[in-house]
Chain A
């Protein structure tokens, strides 16, 4: 019964799962592009939760969750563009994007 009647909790658990999968990827990958991909998955997990709040939670700020999700998408787009540009120029300089080989600042 509780499994068939889809409600707030289903979406919250799904968003949490996506966030955790993305976090595992971001922490275990050694390729910089792979880390960026995982971060996109984490952001999307959060967005799912925000939009679920907009639908199910009783609040005077109607649709605030959906607007938050839109702003997160904007910031994610800017982050992806700048991050990929940095990765490209690092690749040109050092011929690698493995994060454990980019250790110029290591003492």
Chain B
């Protein structure tokens, strides 16, 4: 094991701790604005995880789209709907217990599947710049999903404007 491995391990655990902590804080905070800001921490951590997974292009896209655009949208929505503080304590206790049980059950099943499945792991992990190859793939093999995604985005944006417009 080299010094680089130890560095990657430290980086992974610090980022993973920040992400899980941010996610838990987001779920349990009552104030919606704070909740959204905790989510920013978790989503920024995902960008750092992409860097560790040698997905350079996706890391930048994650920061641009999630931490930039989507979170701004969410904060706008929170501030345009005032007096909607999430009274989690007022939510029925049975609902919270049910939610926790569902999440724990699905988590346990997923973990069991992950740890018992014989993954076909490659000898040398992918470790090269991906932007160029992603671009080529999107314009060749995955050109149809790419076009459908652009169509979906256009339709979504027009739909959002029409729905949110004041009469």
**CB distance A16 to B110 under 8 Å?**
yes
Contact yes or no, A4 B133, CB < 8 A? no
Are B70 and A89 neighbours in the complex by a CB distance under 8 Å?
Answer: no
A28: min CB distance to chain B, Å: 4
| CB-based contact B55/A77 at 8 Å | no
Residue contact A82 to B159, C-beta cutoff 8 Å: yes
Among A8, A48, A67, A82, the residue within 8 A (CB) of B134 is A67
Q: 1/0 per position for A74-104, CB-CB distance to B under 8 A?
A: 1111111110111111011000111000000
**Neighbouring B residues of A52 by C-beta, 8 Å:** 53
Once the chains are docked, how many angstroms separate the CA of A14 from the CA of B20?
8
Task: Name the one of B73, B121, B127, B130 contacting A66, with C-beta atoms under 8 angstroms.
Answer: B130
* Inter-chain residue pair count (beta carbon < 8 A): 244
Q: How far is the CA of A33 from the CA of B81 in the complex (A)?
A: 9
Q: With A12-B114, A31-B32, A52-B53 as given contacts, are A4 and B119 in contact (CB-CB < 8 Å)?
A: no
Whether B70 and A96, one on each chain, are in contact in the complex, defined by CB atoms closer than 8 angstroms, is: no
B residues 48-70 touching A (CB-CB < 8 Å): 49-50, 52-55, 57-58, 61-62, 65-66, 69-70
Partner of A67, one of B46, B107, B142: B142
Q: Which residues of B contact A85 (CB under 8 A)?
A: 159-161, 163-164
Partner of A28 from the list B35, B46, B77, B96 (CB cut-off 8 Å) is B96
The answer, among B87, B106, B153, for a CB contact under 8 Å with A74, is B153
Binding site for A on B (CB under 8 A): 1, 5-6, 8-9, 12, 16, 19-20, 23-24, 26-27, 32, 35-36, 39, 42-43, 46, 49-50, 52-55, 57-58, 61-62, 65-66, 69-70, 73-74, 76-78, 80-81, 84, 86-88, 90-91, 95-96, 98-100, 102-104, 106-107, 110-111, 114-115, 119-123, 125-127, 130, 133-134, 137-138, 142, 145, 149, 152-153, 155-157, 159-161, 163-164, 166
